[in-house]
Amino acid sequence: MSQFLQRLPEFLGHHPFLALALAGLIAAIIGNEIARRFRGFKELTPGALTLLINRESPLLVDVSSVADFEKGHIAGARHVAMSQFDPENKDLAKVREMPVALVCKTGATSAQAAARLVKAGFTKVFVLGGGMTAWREAALPTARGNK
């Protein structure tokens, strides 16, 4: 280890672009982790979402497209198109203190919806990491159709 530390300044002097790239990557990773910790919602695995559903009966909202929702969704999920998603809706305001789990095809759209819920004052917001793709890969059951 001490030999590594002795040769490190020489390496950095000979390879400044690699050193800058490494510093940039480290800063990006740290920044991403800090942002993830303070975003206000929690990302769940399919197994953790199953536990949440069984233990706390969250409001389960699927913000996928209509076609993706009809191909397969988690049983009991309510479909709300992202274009219609309004955290200030009077019906949603009634459940501000209960857990809300958001799902979409890959997890990206539901993360956007979760950020909007947190901004609107919701305290228990969850997102299925990887979306329905991760749910299917975990071989968990899906419902079909528009119900």
pLDDT digits (tens, 9 = 90+) for 86-143: 888 777 777 888 999 999 999 999 999 999 999 988 989 999 999 999 999 999 999 9
101: helix, strand or coil: strand
> Where is 17: in which H helix or E strand?
helix 16-37
The strands making up 59-62's β-sheet, listed across from edge to edge, are: 42-44, 125-128, 100-103, 59-62, 78-79
- What residue type is 14 in one-letter code? H
For residue 17, what pLDDT is reported?
93
For the segment(s) 42-137, the CATH number from 3.20.20.70, 3.40.250.10, 3.40.50.1820, 3.40.605.10 is 3.40.250.10
Domain definitions of the chain by residue range? 2-37, 42-137
Mean pLDDT of the chain: 90
